[in-house]
Amino acid sequence: MELCSMQYTAFWYQKCKSWNQSYWLKFMSSGKFGQTSAASSNTQKKHLRWKELQEKLLKNQGSMTPLTEQEIMEILNAAIPQFLAEQSLLEFKAPVVICGDIHGQFEDLLRLYNFIGWPPEKRYLFLGDYVDRGQQSVEVICLQILLKLQYPKDYFLLRGNHEHIEINRCYGFYEECKTRYSRHLWHRFQNFFACMPLAALVSEKILCMHGGISSELKNFDQIRHIRRPTSIPPSGVLCDLLWADPDGNANGYGESPRGAGCVFGANAVFEFCDNMGIDLIARAHQVVEQGYQFFAQRRCVTVFSAPNYCNIYNNAAAALIIDQNLNCKIVQIKSSTKKKK
């Protein structure tokens, strides 16, 4: 069964107005940007605070989060400067566990941690799409931010195409925030999403992103120099990083049926990897039956980490475990619930 042909509404793009550019200029020039406390006791207090909120979040794992709106705002206010302090292209060494879309499936995210290991025992890289579709997007994104705040060198989060105002307005996250909290909180999440890194380079050999490669991407500096916070343009490198898809019928690059981003063929993958000096492209963005799917003679892999997606697809979830020698092991996690008939 072909599971990679899900379509998105074509009107997805509109200039993001959820954050005020003058606010960010003022914030970044205020001297507070990138500041860290000299007092180790203050750092320890913050770590204990994030641990406390994590324990509160996990107290009743099968139910909606007991976190208050004020507590979530506290988490987001701490996360924004920390994410802005990172580069648009994350660069770090293996080992790492690479995971794909989660889409609000909180219980499945916890099963993944319990099966593979919790940070900092394991270093994680998530490729985006934390929100929408599932019923507990707030829990998913709050837990992941809390883990990032506690373990900044062992937990990495990239932006997906659903971390964009015009997408998560339509596919569940807006309604979840509005119903359970407020529209104001939803807008604050958009401020945070605009600050997230866009790609990662693992041990200089594995390029990771949510969507895919771009015909306009010729060197890594093009990603490094993308300034954040940013909205997602309708075309170009940034758009393709979050929206592009592999296509076995494509010769080079072509127009995507999604209405955003491009499609790329196997020959585009070979040329891109050779030109950039990398061995593998790891991306997410598409539900695949086994949770992973190779393309272009194993030079590109799709990983999807939400099992039984939307309670419709009877798909497995998967994660890539990359060791320090860049050997790759694939772990599959079956759904805990059966597909609806």
Q: Which residues are catalytic, by number?
A: 162
CA distance 57 to 17: 30
* Count of CB atoms situated within 10 Å of the CB of 301: 25
Dihedral angle, C-alpha 4, 9, 13, 18, nearest 10 ° = -100
CA distance 279 to 119: 26
Phi, psi angles (nearest 5°) of residue 99: -125, 150
Q: Which amino acid is at 57?
A: L
φ/ψ (deg, to 5) at 191: -60, -40
Among 96, 101, 95, 7, which residue's Cα sits nearest to residue 291?
A: 101
Is the separation of the CB atoms in 99 and 112 below 8 Å? yes
The CA distance from 183 to 175, in Å, is 9
Enumerate residues 6+ apart whose C-beta is below 8 A from 119: 147, 150, 151, 154, 155
The rounded distance, in Å, linking the Cα atoms of 36 and 181 is: 31
Query: Which residues are within 8 A (CB) of 42 and not within 5 positions of it... i.e. 6 or more apart?
Result: none
Written as six digits, the tokens of 222 are 């093009």
**Terminal Cα distance for the chain, rounded:** 16
